[in-house]
Structure 1
Amino acid sequence: MTDKQAVPVAKKVPSTRVHHGDEVVDNYEWLREKDDPEVISFLEAQNALTEADTAELADLRAAIYGEIKSRTQETDMSVPSRRGQYWCYARTVEGQQYALRCRAPISGDDDWDPPTVSGDDPLPGEQVLLDSNLDAEGTDFYSLGAFSVTDDGTMLAYSVDKVGDERYTLRFKDLRSGELLTETVENTAPGATWSHDGRHIFYLTVDDAWRPDTVWRHDLGAGTDDVKVFHEPDERFWVGIGGTRSDKYLMIGLGSKITSEVHVLSADDPTGEFQVVWPRRDGVEYDVEHAVIGGEDRFLITHNENAENFELLDAPVDDPTATRVLIPHDAESRLEGVDAFADQLVLSYRRAATPRIAIADIRGAKSSSDVSFEELTFDEPLSSVGLAGNPEWAAPRLRIGYTSFIEPSEIIDLDVTSGDRILLKRQVVLGDYDPADYEQKREWVTAADGTQVPLSIVSRKGVSRPAPTLLYGYGSYEASMDPGFSIARLSLLDRGVVFVIAHIRGGGEMGRHWYENGKTLTKKNTFTDFVDSARHLVDSRATTPAQLVGEGGSAGGLLIGAVANLAPELFSGILAVVPFVDPLTSILDPSLPLTVIEWDEWGNPLEDKEVYEYMRSYSPYENVAALEYPAILALTSLNDTRVMYTEAAKWVARLQDNSTSDNAILLKTEMSAGHGGVSGRYKQWEEVAFEHAWVLRQTGAV
């Protein structure tokens, strides 16, 4: 470990904050000045410290990188999906960082059997729509935002961010000639939606707080100013634009954390006026899908008015208030949405911390009262299932994705009529990987207040306990950490590390109440659930504190930062990825990106003294104390617009000043990346190898 005397000492510049009579002196707020050379020098010095401390892991990092690379089929192809008269797919080529997005012509109208995927050769007649490797030349960072082809297949709109700040440039390519048009649209949000006629494209721009707030219409080739279609002045609401699966309607969706509103327009009338489906009402969330049932156009509305776990209604398009219940509220199942096709409806929901889908065949239905759903089941109970790429409204099969913690992901075509499942592709894992060598299971932890918290536990079979363990958690925004396979994770499992996800309150695994009991003034349940999960693992002799690392990222970084203050003795290491660890400072400043929309999640400490005091009591940064902290590795990005680098930088500076242990507190800042970290798959593998090597050291697995 690095000598503590070598740690760069951050200067202290007192900055005073006063709210609700509480005066706080912040010595490290000066680190927010991104353009200050002294700030950059501090970040670079911290990077040097991290590099020195982890230099001994260089061979291990190289080995892990090699394992990820050797297990990955680098030249590969996604299963082609039919869109119009083309098979559409993505290809990767060994040695190239980014995917190629391609299409190939279809031989006939009745051809629904996708071509066999070999991974080596292009399909006959292949057209490369976009080679991001060429597009990214000369850049340190590259992110593809929009990627949308007109219904007639002649024009491509795509957007790119080459800095990492999520500010995209929208470009257009004529797919008939291969010509890249000179007209562009600067500083857009990621998405873009074409009108039916391919003459108009809708896109979003953002306000100063990086909130998508305005929908614009660009008339391709017209040479006229873009038309402002919609603007949302309420800073709590994000704006989105898209189309129904049927392509019959364009929809603008508005959403705060607790309220939503949908505006609809016929796709045949792109210059017309959008109409509200349901006017917004505080606390009511809903979304809308278009279906044709019994020959009638219907809106399917998933909502939570007097239905905590949501219910599904349907209504005639010309009167969305004339609703009837299609799927009633269920206290045991959280309804997440419905997808409509010409012949089927697909319901997505979760029950007992597991995502599920159910399918209704509507071909013979005369009305919604004839619609009934049947759950699609799999042998492995701890798994994830959901719709995969299904771009066509009318297709004889449904494309489904399936995976678990130990089973590589599968793409399956389901024949709804016969029930036959056609395996199109299983994720290739090179080498001698055998799922039978691994095991996954569910355990339940009794939290301090008696709540049963689920754990997902993954390991190689035969691992002796107590074992090196990585405990991961998120617990915010009703996001669920579902079962999923990871090639990179095998490098931990094969070295005897047990991977555990704590499905803590604040997430969505157990229904809407699980989320409600882990936000605003119940947020501390998120942290104590994680601590109780760690104690359960230690008390049951599954692991020991010397072998346990806790990990969280973004809002999960808030979790892991709070846990470091609550129970530092339980962990050998804390891995915090782009961590939101200075939440009170951020949420008190409405001028910062994303602050106002976060008030529904955390509360508004500006206006509410109780919220202020509550956040003050758990803020990781503000509660750093003279404690024996475990080793901590914080990872951040200089250009992150979601969780600014400042949070991790301030937190680490304060930890280094206060920790009474000799354990290294490290900060690694990517100087040319955003919230998602580095771009390019090989760079990402290097970053994963860096993180895994540190985890292996801290758990004692090496």
Structure 2
Amino acid sequence: MRTRAIFAALLGTAAMTFFAPVFALGSPVAYPTTETVGTVDEQFGVKVQDPYRWLENDVRVDPKVAAWVEAQNKVTDAYLETVPGREQLASRMRALYDYARTGVPEVAGDRYFFTRNSGLQNQAVLYVKDGKDGAERVLIDPNAWAKDGATALDSWVPSKDGTKLIYSIQDGGSDWRTVKVLDVATGKTMDDEIKWVKFSALEWDKVGQGFYYSRFPEPDKEGEFQSLNTDQEIRYHLLGTPQADDPLIYATPEEPQLNHVAQVADDGSFLLVTSSSGTDERYRLTMIGLNGDETRRVIVPDLLNDWSMIGMSGGRIYFVTNKDAPRLRIVSMAITGSESALDTVVAEGESVISGASVVGGRLVVNYLQDARNVVKLFDLAGKPMGELPLPGIGSVGGFDGDLDSTETFFSYSSFNRPTTIYRYDLTSGQVTPWAEPKLAFNPDDYTVEQRFYASKDGTKVPMFIVKKKSVTGPAPTLLYGYGGFNISLTPGFSPTRLAWLEQGGVYAQASLRGGGEYGKAWHDAGRLANKQNVFDDFIAAGEYLIAEGVTGKDQLAIEGRSNGGLLVGAVVNQRPDLFAAAHAAVGVMDMLRFDRFTAGRYWVDDYGYPNKEADFQTLIRYSPYHTIRKADYPAVIVSTADTDDRVVPGHSFKYTARLQATEAGDKPHLIRIETRAGHGSGKPTDKIIEEFSDIYAFLANFTGLKVAGE
């Protein structure tokens, strides 16, 4: 069973009744009685009831909330213990996870740095090789950092010469990071320690004597995991000095809502500060001279467009931008210039540019073509140099390096293909495997198909459908979606998902509007006043799968995480008849108060401002917490974690309490609350397997998926 905080001494403090009922599978669940309060907010003439406002309080601080969490977990655990197939799925997931997973290597000096998880390790280990043919050795093994495996190595950056390494530590899934420095030759951690780092790059200076980082003010203890994140600043840390002495490099106290990230130029001549106010790719760029020249120039003043510096050559800086190019283009700017004087290097095309790099004297451009990657090559003047061959329909990442690099590395994965690392020889053009996983299944047993279906307004939406070749419909199907923040859903491998496919289930992934699959227009069509399009797209995907015989009326489960959890909550409220089961993970459920906690204020770019009438009228129409109604709901399982300081767990707590208190049918409506875990990153392998064997067994039970060995 998963690790829990011990709340026994607190059970008598809340005005609630707590019990762990005994019941037969399929019978109505007796939920804990949740206290209600008379909170009513009047907004623009609308009285909004919020009877579970008290559940917004931090579970680590408020004993009442802690007791509620304990009571809910008791009910959920008791129910899940009766669900067939749970142990079988967990066993199979462990077997499918048990293969070596290697990350894309980074070259610094003559050293190669890379992560690898041998299989069932809770956290990936950082290795280093001295030279191409040198023996690899362990540099950082985070698996010894915490007994429960919930302390993770987050980011790591070697110095230019490969002699030192900055690394950040993530504890219990929180977004806060602690930064330390390591001597690569000895493997010893130095005395330097930097705290209160969040949403930050880590950038070495050119000579490796110190680094730049972004931090927030130290919060008070009660607000550590809930307070709004404002007043971010960039500081410089000189090795061997205390953090208190770190000089301020950049801040905007007159604009406390701005975030700032630092990037050191390839030649070390300047620091580029990228400032933003929300989740939109709308940036201000400020250039700060280095090497004794601290001249500051704002080269892009307005928060209007996306700008990403990808490299330098011949006194010019290369950027990927959507300025005058909704699907993005590559431009160059003189090092003394500004956005008013740009040269187009690679023009906007039919497909969206999802990434690019200047490496080995050429441009490597990663395109998103119908939600899958295609990689094209250009010289630095923009002349096409061909296309990089890929193994199939999949996702690609990597291609780091310098202007004079002779090699670069990239990853490839698909729904039926775990990540393989490839080496690309920039001289010969040869692509060879660098790290291939050994698998406990045959990828050729599965088909990956892409289809296009019509949404409510006729818009064609792409969807991937994955299944065993031997499976013929209709079959139990898991439909996944996101639809927001310009984030694209592309093919990717998941051992937990493969366990579902092995049992004869189908997996479908819809590329909904609101994502970035087709550029700015696709994103804009699924946010703010257009957010309903996202829900319509997802509902239409479910209807299509049933109409085409992929799945049956009572065989369709849906799943989404974060903004996707919002998606699941909204569509279940709108079409409870369409789905047999639903999993809403770490979702944004209260659309009228999301901007009051931690990173929530950034999301107004996609959702709008709850305190503006036009946005309020849109939000209240689909807010999952506010639109729960009397109806025959599908089986619903909500998942969250006590240390989620991205989407605070109060969203899920309030939504679940209201759903349980509503006449919503006899199927179970449960919440699974993990301890010492956050929004998802850094979660140990053990916790992932425990969580998804619980969730997928629950979904299998209500879609008719028979798990082998039950």
Q: What is the TM-score with the length of structure 2 in the denominator?
A: 0.88
Instruction: State the Cα distance separating 1:226 from its structure 2 match.
Output: 1.1
Q: Which residue of 1 aligns with 2:92?
A: 67
Distance in 2 of aligned mates of 1:517 and 1:329: 20
Instruction: State the Cα distance separating 1:221 from its structure 2 match.
Output: 1.8
1:386 equivalent in alignment to 2:397: yes
Q: Which residue of 2 aligns with 1:225?
A: 245
Distance in 2 of aligned mates of 1:253 and 1:56: 52
Distance in 1 of aligned mates of 2:149 and 2:38: 36
Distance in 1 of aligned mates of 2:682 and 2:182: 27
Equivalent AA in structure 1 for residue 694 of structure 2: F
Match of 1:22 among 46, 57, 68: 46
Instruction: State the Cα distance separating 1:13 from its structure 2 match.
Output: 0.7
- State the Cα deviation string for residues 227-277 of structure 1 (Å, max 9, x = none): 1111134355332223356666533222231520223345645x8355333
Contact kept, 8 Å, 1:82 with 1:392, in 2: the verdict is no
1:182 equivalent in alignment to 2:187: no
Instruction: State the Cα distance separating 1:197 from its structure 2 match.
Output: 2.0
Q: Which residue of 1 aligns with 2:234?
A: 215
- State the Cα deviation string for residues 116-170 of structure 1 (Å, max 9, x = none): xxxxxxx63x443222123x13466213234223223333322223243322222
Distance in 1 of aligned mates of 2:327 and 2:577: 38
Taking a change above 3 Å as real, the CA distance of residues 474 and 229 of structure 1, as seen in their structure-2 partners, is same
Give the SS at the match of 2:300. Answer: coil
Q: Which residue of 1 aligns with 2:15?
A: none
Instruction: State the Cα distance separating 1:448 from its structure 2 match.
Output: 1.4
Distance in 2 of aligned mates of 1:140 and 1:410: 25
Distance in 1 of aligned mates of 2:159 and 2:173: 27
Match of 2:77 among 43, 47, 51: 51
Instruction: State the Cα distance separating 1:632 from its structure 2 match.
Output: 0.4
1:1-150 correspondence to structure 2 within 5 Å = 1=25, 3-4=27-28, 6-34=30-58, 35-57=61-83, 60-74=85-99, 81-93=106-118, 96-106=121-131, 114-115=132-133, 124=135, 126-134=136-144, 136-138=145-147, 141-150=150-159
Distance in 1 of aligned mates of 2:176 and 2:489: 28
Q: Which residue of 1 aligns with 2:497?
A: 489
- Share of identical aligned residues, percent? 27
1:230-269 correspondence to structure 2 within 5 Å = 230-233=250-253, 234-244=255-265, 249-255=270-276, 256=278, 257-265=280-288, 268=291
1:457-472 correspondence to structure 2 within 5 Å = 457-472=465-480
Taking a change above 3 Å as real, the CA distance of residues 258 and 420 of structure 1, as seen in their structure-2 partners, is closer
Give the SS at the match of 2:615. Answer: helix
1:279 equivalent in alignment to 2:301: yes
Match of 1:347 among 355, 362, 365: 365
Distance in 2 of aligned mates of 1:629 and 1:95: 37
Contact kept, 8 Å, 2:376 with 2:388, in 1: the verdict is yes
Give the SS at the match of 1:356. Answer: strand
Contact kept, 8 Å, 2:158 with 2:166, in 1: the verdict is yes
Instruction: State the Cα distance separating 1:328 from its structure 2 match.
Output: 2.3
Taking a change above 3 Å as real, the CA distance of residues 253 and 341 of structure 1, as seen in their structure-2 partners, is same
Instruction: State the Cα distance separating 1:612 from its structure 2 match.
Output: 0.5
- State the Cα deviation string for residues 409-442 of structure 1 (Å, max 9, x = none): 3222233454332222323213xx2222111111
Instruction: State the Cα distance separating 1:575 from its structure 2 match.
Output: 0.4
1:310 equivalent in alignment to 2:315: no
- State the Cα deviation string for residues 355-410 of structure 1 (Å, max 9, x = none): 22211244xxxxx3x63353334463x3223335x345422233232222223332
Distance in 2 of aligned mates of 1:76 and 1:386: 15
1:597 equivalent in alignment to 2:602: yes
Instruction: State the Cα distance separating 1:504 from its structure 2 match.
Output: 0.9
Distance in 2 of aligned mates of 1:483 and 1:99: 22
Distance in 2 of aligned mates of 1:284 and 1:104: 40
Equivalent AA in structure 1 for residue 308 of structure 2: D
Contact kept, 8 Å, 2:170 with 2:682, in 1: the verdict is no
Taking a change above 3 Å as real, the CA distance of residues 501 and 534 of structure 1, as seen in their structure-2 partners, is same
Taking a change above 3 Å as real, the CA distance of residues 137 and 450 of structure 1, as seen in their structure-2 partners, is closer
Q: Which residue of 2 aligns with 1:520?
A: 528
Compare 457-466 and 433-442 and name the one that shifted more. 433-442
Taking a change above 3 Å as real, the CA distance of residues 375 and 635 of structure 1, as seen in their structure-2 partners, is same
Instruction: State the Cα distance separating 1:196 from its structure 2 match.
Output: 1.7
Equivalent AA in structure 1 for residue 73 of structure 2: N
Taking a change above 3 Å as real, the CA distance of residues 384 and 91 of structure 1, as seen in their structure-2 partners, is closer
**Structure 2 stretches lacking a partner, 5+ long:** 1-24, 218-226
Compare 316-325 and 656-665 and name the one that shifted more. 316-325
RMSD: 2.4
1:374 equivalent in alignment to 2:383: no
Distance in 2 of aligned mates of 1:507 and 1:456: 15
Equivalent AA in structure 2 for residue 376 of structure 1: L
Taking a change above 3 Å as real, the CA distance of residues 163 and 379 of structure 1, as seen in their structure-2 partners, is closer
